[in-house]
């Protein structure tokens, strides 16, 4: 069976997606920064399901990392029929207080890497002549509004949402289905690594979904060939209210949550 390639697969939503696909008998190619965590995930999956799992440690915030991942697949002759761009990071705080290096790495990881991976792997997917070819991009409910003090992250996810919709239309006639899923707060360590303020964490805790729940929704949406999905009723409601309300109101709410 062709492989599903998952970035950011060592923990959180990426790990949960890997488990969900293994449950469906998909062989897996996993990548993330930590070799040790990837090894743990691979061992866990192979104990539970009779699938092949291969992995490589790559930091997708680094220059040429997507090319390195692509060349690994070519060298090993892995037939990829599913590309899942899950790797990403967040960073909160006043934009001008963050370093140029940190902002650039965030943009590279959240925007440049998934864009390059799509460009590199689309021809490889098409070579499979497989009737079921998929790209799944992970955005965020943050994609649907400007979020002061989370400016680069929210903007990067808005790009992924728009990019995915555009690709979906371009690739539909070629037999590749493109899905974008935009989770809201999820029970991962994202908020901690992004240094989200306590008041925003308190609000997010009321909306938190489990990684396994988001992953199941994402995989089912992908196989159903849905273009754009927001998992969870409250998240859908939040996105709708953001669309309904004047932008200044939603942006002031964001300021009240994310400003230290």
Per-residue pLDDT tens digits of the chain, which is 260 residues long: 789 999 999 999 999 999 999 999 999 999 999 999 999 999 999 999 999 999 999 999 999 999 999 999 999 999 999 999 999 998 888 899 999 999 999 999 999 999 999 999 999 999 987 678 999 999 999 999 999 999 999 999 999 999 999 999 999 999 999 999 999 888 776 656 656 666 556 666 666 789 999 999 999 999 999 999 999 888 888 888 888 888 888 878 777 777 77
Among 26, 144, 153, 258, the one annotated catalytic: 153
Residue 133, strand partner residues? 176
Q: With left for phi above 0 and alpha for psi between -120 and 50, is residue 34 left, alpha or beta?
A: beta
What pTM was computed for the model?
A: 0.92
| CA-only gyration radius of the chain, Å | 18
List Cβ neighbours of 179 (8 Å cut-off, separation of 6 or more).
Answer: 134, 135, 136, 137, 164, 168, 218, 221, 222, 225, 226, 227, 228, 229
CA pair distance 117, 44, nearest whole angstrom: 26
Domain that holds residue 115: 3-258
The total number of structural domains in the chain stands at 1
Query: What's the CATH code of the domain at 178?
Result: 3.40.50.720
Can 153 be counted among the known catalytic residues?
yes
Sheet harboring 53-57: ordered strands across? 53-57, 27-32, 3-7, 80-85, 133-138, 176-181, 228-229
């Amino acid at each position: 069976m062709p492989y599903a390639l998952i970035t950011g697969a060592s923990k959180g939503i990426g790990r949960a997606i890997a488990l969900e696909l293994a449950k469906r008998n998909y062989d897996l190619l996993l990548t993330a920064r930590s070799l040790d965590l990837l090894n743990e995930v691979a061992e866990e999956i192979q104990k539970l399901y009779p699938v092949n799992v291969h992995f490589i440690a790559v930091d997708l915030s680094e220059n040429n990392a997507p090319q390195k991942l692509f060349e690994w697949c070519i060298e090993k002759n892995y037939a990829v029929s599913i590309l899942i761009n899950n790797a990403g990071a967040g960073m909160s705080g006043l934009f001008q207080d963050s370093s140029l290096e940190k902002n650039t790495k965030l943009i590279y990881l959240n925007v440049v890497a998934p864009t390059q991976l799509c460009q590199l792997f689309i021809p490889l997917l098409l070579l499979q002549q497989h009737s079921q070819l998929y790209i799944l991009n992970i955005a965020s409910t943050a994609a649907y509004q400007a979020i002061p003090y989370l400016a680069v992250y929210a903007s990067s996810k808005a790009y992924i949402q728009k990019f995915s919709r555009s690709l979906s239309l371009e690739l539909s006639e070629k037999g590749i289905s493109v899905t974008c899923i935009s989770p809201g707060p999820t029970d991962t360590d994202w908020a901690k690594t992004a240094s989200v303020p306590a008041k925003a964490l308190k609000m997010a805790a009321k909306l938190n979904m489990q990684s396994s729940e988001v992953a199941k929704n994402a995989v089912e949406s992908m196989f159903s060939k849905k273009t754009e999905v927001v998992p969870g009723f409250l998240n859908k409601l939040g996105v709708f209210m953001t669309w309904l309300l004047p932008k200044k109101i939603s942006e002031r709410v964001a300021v009240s949550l994310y400003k230290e």
